[in-house]
Structures are given as C-alpha cells and as structure tokens.
Amino acid sequence: MSTITKILIANRGEIACRIIRTARIMGIATVAVYSDADASALHVEMADEAVLIGPAQASESYLKVDAILDAARRTEADAIHPGYGFLSENPDFVERVEKAGLIFIGPSAKAIRAMGLKDAAKALMEKAKVPVVPGYHGEAQELVVLAGKANEIGFPVLIKARAGGGGKGMRKVERQEDFPAALSSARREAKASFGDDRVLVEKYVATPRHIEIQVFGDSHGNVVHLFERDCSAQRRHQKVIEEAPAPEMPEDMRTVMGAAAVKAARAINYCGAGTVEFIVDASDGLCADKFWFMEMNTRLQVEHPVTELITGLDLVEWQIRVAAGEQLPLKQNALSIDGHAVEARIYAEDAGKGFLPAVGRLAHLAFPGGDIRVDAGVRTGDEITPFYDPMIAKLIAHGRTRAEALSKLAGALGRTEIAGTVTNTAFLARLCRDADFAAGRLDTGLIDRNIDSLTAVEAAPDHIIALAVLAASGMVRNGAEGSDPVAAIGPFEIWGSPRRQVALTSGDAEQGFEIERVGAQDWRIGGDGLEAGGVDLTMVRADGCDWQFSTAGVTRRCRVLCAQDAVTVFHEGLTHGFLRPSGARGAEQLGGGDQVVSAMPGIIKQVLVEPGQAVASGDPMVIMEAMKMEMTLNAPRDGVVSEVLVSEGAQVTDGAILVALEAQAKAA
Ligand code: ADP
Ligand code: ADP
Ligand code: MG
C-alpha cells in the first residue's frame, strides 16, 4: 500500500474541479496544471498549487508529458489523475508517470493498450466469450476488401476508426454505392483526429440503444460492476443526456450484462474505474441476448455522476483508494440501485444550426440552487475558447422515479441563466419533456427524428421584445452597463430624453423601434418587429436584473441583463438574446454573398476549389474543422471562384474570408 498525499490533475475544466473536490474531502492536497489560456480558470483557483505548463494549444500544454511530469516533480506530487480526454487513455503516458516514481490514478498501461484500438479490443473480447457486434475487424484495409465485407455483413453498416473516440471517424452507410465515399471521409477524419486511418466495419444495429456498464477493479483481483447507464440520447454519435438505471431494463438482462462487463474487465486484469460500452438492439424491447460489446473506455467517464447518485458512492474516491493499493470498498452484493438519476451536458453550441459549437465570454452564468447537482468548470466572466471542449457544465438530478428525476432536470435547465454565448439548454429542457423520451421510448435516433421540434426557435413574444427595447434604450438603468450586472444593483431610475429610436437585432434580422415615455412608469414601444405594431408597457419594479412589468393587464417577472452590445432576457425557461446593431455580426452579413467566411475559429482540412473554377450554389468549397466537428462550407450562389485565401492546415479566425467569388455581373 502506498500513501497518496498530493495529486496533480493533468486536466482542466469541470473534471479537474470535480477531482479537486473529492481530494479535498479526503484530506489530499491538489496541484493544477494550466495553459496560458487558463491562467485564471476555476480549476487553477481551486487547487492548492498550480503550475503553468504551456501555450493554449492542448498539444503544447495539456498533452505535453514532459511539462506535466516536471510540474509533478517541482510540487512533489505523488500521484497523477488524468481526468478524461487528453492523456487519460495514453499508455505511454502511464509508463512515463510510473517511471518517474509516481502513481497513475487509472488502469495499467497494458490494460489501456489492450482496449485502445477497437479492432484489437473486439478480437480480445471474442476470445473472452463476450458478445461483440458482428462485423469485420481484420488487418486488410483495401476498399475492395472492406466493401466486400460490408456486403457480407449486410447494409446498413457502420464504418469506425479503430482508434476512434467521441463519435469521430464514424460513418453510417445505408447503401453499397455510398460505401467508397463514406470510407474516404471516415478515413480523412480518423487520420486528422487520431493520426491513424485504419477502420473496422460493423453491422449497424437496428433501433440501437447505448447501454454501458460501470466497472471497477482493484489490485487484489476484485472486480465489481456498478450497474448500467443509458446514453441513447445522442447527436452525431455523442452523448447528450445520460441516465441510470436504463429505462425498462429487465433484471435478468442487468445481471447478464453486468456479468459480461466484469468478464471483460477480468480478461485484462483491470484495475480502477472503467466502462464497458454495449450496443443493444431494442427493436423488440430489451432482451438479455441482444447486446453486443462496442468498446471499453479505460477511464472515468463524463457521465459518472449518474452512477454516483443512484449508488450513493464517490467514484473518484474509489479511484484514489484503489490506486493507493486498497481493496474495493464494497463487494458486489453490497451494491444496490436507489431511484433514478439523469444528467444533461450543457454546451456552448447552437442546436438549431446542426449543433455548431460556439465560443464567447460567459457574461453571466447562474445555476439553480436546490436539489440538483451542478458540475461546472467555469464561472461568470470565463471564456469558452476554441482550444478546448465547449462543455459549460453538467446538471444532474436524482429522483425516486425516472419521471421525478426528469422533471427536476427540466426545471433546473429552465432556471439556468447563461449569457454571452449560445447554449443548448432550451434544447435539453425540451428533450426532457419530449413525449417519446419521457415515456422511455428511446434509441440513438430519437433526437434526429424529432430534431425540428426539439430545436424549433420560438420567436420572442411582443412583451419580451418591448422589454428588450426598453432595456436597450438606456432609459431604465438596471446595473446594465457595469461589468458585473448582477452586483451593480441600483434603484429603479429614469433618465435621459423621453423619446428614443432603438435598433435591435434578434436572430439575423435588425429592426428599428421607437420608445416613448408616456407616464412615470409607462412606456409605449412601437416598431414593425412587434406583431401588434405597438406595446404599452408598465414597469412595476426593477431590482437589479429582476424586472417585473405588465403589458395588456398581465404582470410578468423576468431577468434582464445588458452587457456591452447584448441584451438578454430570461423568461419562462427561455433565453432571448438581442444585439444592438454595432455588436451584430453574422456570417451572412460578413460574406455578403460574394465570399465564404468562417463563422468560427478553426483549421482548414481541405480546399475543394481553385481560382477560375465555376461553382453552383451549394457546391462544397472548403472543409474545416472547428472544435470537435468537421464542417463543409458551400458556395453561397452560382459563380466563379476569384480567389482562394487559405490552404490546407491553415488556422483561421472567426470571420476570416476563405474563398471569394467574382462579383456578380449586373443583370442585363
Ligand atoms: P464519455 O465517453 O466519457 O461519455 P464522450 O465520449 O462524450 O465522453 O467524450 C469523449 C471525450 O471528449 C473525452 O474523453 C474527452 O476527450 C473529450 N472531452 C469532453 N469534455 C471534455 C472536457 N471538459 N475537457 C477535456 N476533454 C473533454
Ligand atoms: P466512440 O469511441 O466514438 O465512443 P463507439 O464505438 O462507442 O465510438 O460508438 C459511438 C456511438 O455510435 C454509440 O454510442 C452508438 O450510438 C453508435 N454506434 C456504435 N456502433 C454501433 C453499431 N454497431 N450500430 C449502431 N450504432 C452504433
Ligand atoms: Mg464510445
């Protein structure tokens, strides 16, 4: 047995904060490492010590083994927790950590290697008699061979990068004729993301449900499972909402799956926390013989809190104890499920625009109090940058039943206030209340099938627009112009001239309004952007950001924030964002139809056109990668390419012009 007295966390964001919390409870000191971009990050503030390890790019900091080991040496840490992502599943890192005389809080390099590549892992699991997804995971990589295998397996098939993760390098192929194109696209993404373009081909399981088992092993040969999590609510093969236990899970299936996962872990002498992911054919409900091994994640997972809430355990504490050489705290028969837990991942992304990741400074961030767990790695004023994962926080609810947990989660999402970037909170709240999801009728296609209703943009009603105009007019001060709007609470105060013109942009449209003060507390707001043409509004009370106002005899309460060029109104679970025109900026405006412009910072993967080339509206021109996504930018109209301003591998900023079209000839 070894003693762990100081842990260096080789990670950032919410997982670094999460690990620090448990270490503190256990009386263990913590060391944060950080990049230039994270100098004032929450995990740095929370840790006992912190060491700068390099520039913003992860490859120069959070992935820099030498810098991390050097930080551990300088702070005399005796163990390293890798969190998830970054170096967490890198066996070479584990070896380097151990060679430096430190404890790696995670499995052995050997176990990580055994499960690191999906093809080898599947072969190993077949040998251990764990059911695996039917398919081809052999050596050959030629198109003819793989296409032939796909035919044998039968369409639809799924092409997967063997080194894949995070849903990358994966393509579902419905028809034989689409196979070659899908293969090269999967390969390109795999090469770019993992430096390895080898793939496997699998049967695409019908009505798929993603059900995974949390396993835990220790160095004394004990292995237990901590039941299942259902992560079927996905978009682009990435988890959106996770829960435990799985809805409608039959007890016999839970037993069989748990045993299969333990068998998988035993096959590699697994020590520490791990997850065995299975794909389940749910076309006839859940049955004990319709699940197959997909992969094993040899680390703590993003969604581990739902398991913690139904078991009452702290998985990070277990990880630390096991790493120190202790026995697992509990045996299988001492583990049981209490109630139901659901987790939602809040991301800076635009659900309505294909979940386009977003960046921005979190001008305001407030989570609901009460009976809800919030795992966040950021606070008000922090920046979501293009360098790292755009996750803002996780909200986790526990209830006696699934319905109770879902209802709590939806309510908490509705009370979450985030200004400064677009987020998926409204989408998540709608998903919680979706009829199929609420009834437990879920599979991995659920979100795609209901995407329109889940992402429908609700136009702001007249009374909200009128209120935003009032806020933007500057005629009511609400702590508006201060850097911290919540703190700058002043008395409700009226100043300036009684009539003003105000321009506001909501979505892509700019509208002009006129606002006039007609009484001590009364305003008349007019403009074409209002459905009724005009609104009479009475302010009842303004206490900082808490505004109470009435229109047409109805008094409402909402929260109003003004920061720089933005006005944000939080009302009934929705976030209504408005911009004053100087701050308005959209790809369309920037591009003006003659240019292809990047809407966000990213890296150019491929340029598909050259100067002089004729293109038709919608033709793909540039493929770029921004954050965790590959995006194709298309021609805005028919025309001829006049200039290509970027080349492959180039890093571009938000708003950069990538390709220009020749100016359009005037119609004769
Ligand atoms: P999991 O399989 O644990 O649910 P996902 O597959 O959704 O996680 O995400 C996979 C990877 O995304 C993580 O292993 C990590 O590489 C990356 N990731 C997600 N969030 C973060 C974060 N906050 N910081 C660093 N990496 C992250
Ligand atoms: P990653 O390493 O990116 O997490 P996985 O192999 O775990 O890759 O698969 C990610 C997701 O893709 C799964 O959660 C599931 O939704 C879907 N998926 C994977 N394999 C299959 C399959 N054979 N049939 C249907 N869906 C699948
Ligand atoms: Mg997976």
Pocket test for ligand 1, best of 33, 38, 84, 242 (most atoms within 8 A of CB): 84
Quick one: pLDDT at residue 593?
66
User: Measured between alpha carbons, how far is 397 from 417 in angstroms, rounded to an integer?
Assistant: 17
Ligand at minimal distance from the CA of 165 is 2
Question: Rounded mean pLDDT of 603-611?
Answer: 88
> What's the rounded mean pLDDT across residues 440-460?
94
- Do 255 and 341 share a domain, yes or no? yes
- Closest residue to atom 21 of ligand 1, CA basis: 389
Q: How far apart are CA 312 and CA 557, in angstroms?
A: 37
| 651 is a domain residue | yes
* Model pLDDT, residue 275: 98
Question: Quick one: average pLDDT of 396-414?
Answer: 97
DSSP state of 646: -
Ligand (nearest to CA of 281): 2
In a domain, 48, yes or no: yes
Residue 582 is predicted with a pLDDT of 58
Residue 161 clears pLDDT 50, i.e. is over it: yes
Dihedral of CA atoms 126, 129, 135, 140 in degrees, nearest 10, equals 10
- Outline where 507-663 has alpha helix (H): 587-591
Residues facing residue 243 across a β-bridge: 230, 342
378: left (phi over 0), alpha (psi -120 to 50) or beta: beta
What distance in angstroms lies between residue 242's CA and the mean position of ligand 2's atoms? 15
Looking at the fold, whether 84 and 153 belong to one and the same domain comes out as no
Write out the H or E segment, with its range, that includes residue 575.
strand 574-579
Whose C-alpha lies nearest to ligand 1, atom 19? 389
Predicted pLDDT of residue 452: 95
Asked whether the beta carbons of 5 and 27 are under 8 A apart, the reply is: no
pLDDT of residue 497: 53
Give the ligand at the shortest distance from the Cα of 237: 2
| Residue 551 sits in the same domain as residue 643 | no
Please report which confidence band the pLDDT of residue 485 belongs to, taking 50, 70 and 90 as the band edges.
Answer: very low
> Ligand 2 mean position to 294 CA, how many Å?
7
Is ligand 1 within 6 A of the CB of residue 301? yes
DSSP-derived 3-state class of residue 453: helix
pLDDT score of 98: 98
- For residue 597, what pLDDT is reported? 76
Q: Is 13 in the pocket of ligand 1 (CB under 6 A)?
A: yes
In a domain, residue 481? The reply is yes
**Listed range (92-96, 373-377, 468-472, 618-622) with the worst mean pLDDT:** 618-622
Supply the pLDDT for residue 221. 97
The kind and range of the H/E element at 81 are: strand 79-81
Confirm or reject: Cβ of 297 under 6 Å from ligand 1: yes
**Residue 166 has what pLDDT?**
84
- What value does the mean pLDDT of the chain take? 91
Q: What separation in angstroms does the CA of 663 have from each of 586, 591, 599, 607, 609?
A: 20, 12, 21, 21, 17
Ligand nearest to the CA of 190: 2
Say which amino acid occupies 118. K
Residue 283, CB half-sphere, CA atoms under 13 Å: how many?
Answer: 6
In the chain the first and final C-alpha atoms are separated, in Å, by 86
pLDDT band at 65 (very low <50, low <70, confident <90, very high): very high
Q: How remote is the CA of residue 323 from the centroid of ligand 2, in Å?
A: 30
Judge whether 171 and 164 are in contact, CB under 8 Å: no
Residues 364 and 256 in one domain: yes
pLDDT value of residue 629:
64
Between the CA of 168 and the centroid of ligand 2 the distance, in Å, is: 10
Quick: pLDDT tens for 547-583. 999 999 999 999 998 876 788 999 988 999 898 875 4
DSSP string, 479-542: STTSSSTTT------B-S-SEEEEEEEETTEEEEEEEEE-SSSEEEEE-TTSTTSEEEEEEEEE
The vertex-105 CA angle with 99 and 106, nearest 5°, equals 95
The answer to the question of residue 534 being in a domain is: yes
Of 275, 230, 278, 250, nearest to 131 by C-alpha is 278
Give the number of the atom of ligand 1 that is nearest the alpha carbon of residue 239: 7
| Bridge partners, residue 514, by sequence | 501, 526
Looking at the fold, whether 483 and 619 belong to one and the same domain comes out as no
HSE (side-chain half, CA atoms, 13 Å) at 211? 31
Q: Give tens-digit pLDDT for 519-553.
A: 888 999 999 999 999 999 999 998 888 899 999 99
202 CB near ligand 2 (under 6 Å):
yes
Q: What b/e string do you get for 590-603 counting C-beta neighbours within 10 Å, with b at 16 or more?
A: ebeebbbbbbbbbe
With respect to residue 617, please indicate whether it lies within any of the assigned structural domains: yes
Ligand 2 nearest atom to the CA of residue 294, by list position: 6
Q: At residue 334, what are phi and psi to the nearest 5 degrees?
A: -95, 0
Quick check: CB of 95 below 6 Å from ligand 2? no
Over 60: is that where the pLDDT of 588 sits?
Answer: no
- DSSP-derived 3-state class of residue 185: helix
Nearest CA to ligand 1 atom 3: 301
Phi-psi region of 195 (alpha: psi -120 to 50; beta: other; left: phi over 0): left
In this structure, the answer to whether residues 534 and 416 fall within a common structural domain is: no
Out of 203, 231, 258, pick the residue that ends a domain: 203
Which residues are the active-site residues? 299
User: 162-177: per-residue pLDDT in tens?
Assistant: 999 888 999 999 999 9
Distance 386 CA to ligand 2 centre (A): 26
Buried b (16+ CB within 10 A) or exposed e, 92-117: ebbbbbeeeebbbbbbbbebbbbbbb
pLDDT at 371 over 60: yes
- On the CB side of 59, how many CA atoms lie within 13 Å of its CA? 2
d(CA 90, CA 62): 13
Domain containing 81 equals: 6-105
Q: Is the CB of 205 under 6 A from ligand 2?
A: yes
Q: Are residues 267 and 334 in the same domain?
A: yes
Q: DSSP string spanning 197-222?
A: --EEEEE--SSEEEEEEEEEE-TTS-
In this prediction, residue 478 carries a pLDDT of 52
Placement of tokens 């004394």 in the chain: 220
Residues 193 and 247 in one domain: no
* Distant-in-sequence, close-in-space partners of 53: CB < 8 Å, separation ≥ 6: 33, 34, 35, 61, 62, 64, 67, 68, 71
Is a pLDDT exceeding 80 seen at residue 507? no
DSSP 168: T
Query: Is residue 125 a part of any domain in this protein?
Result: no
Q: Is 120 inside any structural domain?
A: no
Question: Are 115 and 130 in contact, with CB atoms under 8 Å apart?
Answer: no
307 Cα: distance to centroid of ligand 3 (angstroms): 17
CATH number of the domain that residue 642 is part of? 2.40.50.100
Q: What is the pLDDT of residue 668?
A: 37
Residue 121 is assigned to a structural domain of this protein:
no
Averaged over 465-474, what is the pLDDT? Answer: 91
Query: Are residues 395 and 268 part of one domain?
Result: yes
Q: What integer pLDDT is reported at residue 595 of this predicted model?
A: 78
Task: From 537, 554, 583, give the residue that closes a domain.
Answer: 583
CA-15 nearest atom, ligand 1: 23
Top-confidence residue, 645 or 289: 289
Q: Give residue 78's pLDDT.
A: 97
Determine whether the shortest distance from the Cβ of 18 to ligand 1 is under 6 A: no
H-run or E-run covering 551: strand 546-551
Considering its fold, how many domains does the chain have in total? 5
At residue 645 the predicted structure's pLDDT band, cuts being 50, 70 and 90, is: confident
Give the CATH number for residue 331: 3.30.470.20
* Ligand 2 atom with minimal separation from the 135 CA: 23
Of 319 and 352, which is predicted with more confidence?
319
What is the pLDDT averaged over residues 641-654?
Answer: 82
Ligand 2 atom having least distance to the Cα of 164:
2
* Ramachandran class of 32: left when φ > 0, alpha when ψ lies in -120 to 50, beta otherwise: beta
Percent of the chain with pLDDT over 70: 93
Q: Any idea which ligand is nearest the CA of 118?
A: 2
Cis peptide upstream of residue 245 (ω within 30 degrees of 0): yes
pLDDT in tens, 131-141: 999 999 999 99
CA dihedral sign, ordered 9, 10, 11, 12? positive
Same domain, 356 and 244: yes
For the Cβ of 385 lying below 6 angstroms from any atom of ligand 1, the answer is: no
CA of 165 to the centre of ligand 1 (A): 9
User: Which residues are paired to 536 by β-bridges?
Assistant: 524
CATH number at residue 89: 3.40.50.20
Give the per-residue pLDDT at 328: 98
Which of ligand 1's atoms lies nearest the C-alpha of 297? 2
Q: How far apart are CA 261 and CA 216, in angstroms?
A: 10
Same domain, 90 and 141: no
Q: According to the model, what pLDDT value does residue 489 have?
A: 30
Q: Model-level pTM?
A: 0.85
- 47 has a pLDDT exceeding 90: yes
Rounded mean pLDDT of 236-265? 97
**What percentage of the chain has pLDDT greater than the value 90?**
75
Please check whether residues 335 and 438 belong to one and the same domain.
Answer: yes
Does 341 score more than 80 pLDDT?
yes
Rounded CA-CA distance 525/514 in Å is 6
Q: Pick from 57, 89, 105: which residue ends a domain? A: 105
Assigned token pair, 501: 């013109």
Q: Check residue 57 and give left, alpha or beta (phi > 0: left; psi -120 to 50: alpha).
A: beta
Q: What is the pLDDT of residue 660?
A: 86
H helices of 47-108, in order, are 65-75, 91-99
Q: 305 CB less than 6 Å from ligand 1?
A: no
pLDDT for residue 494 is more than 70: no
Cα(303) to ligand 1 centroid in Å equals 10
**Does 493 have pLDDT greater than 60?**
no
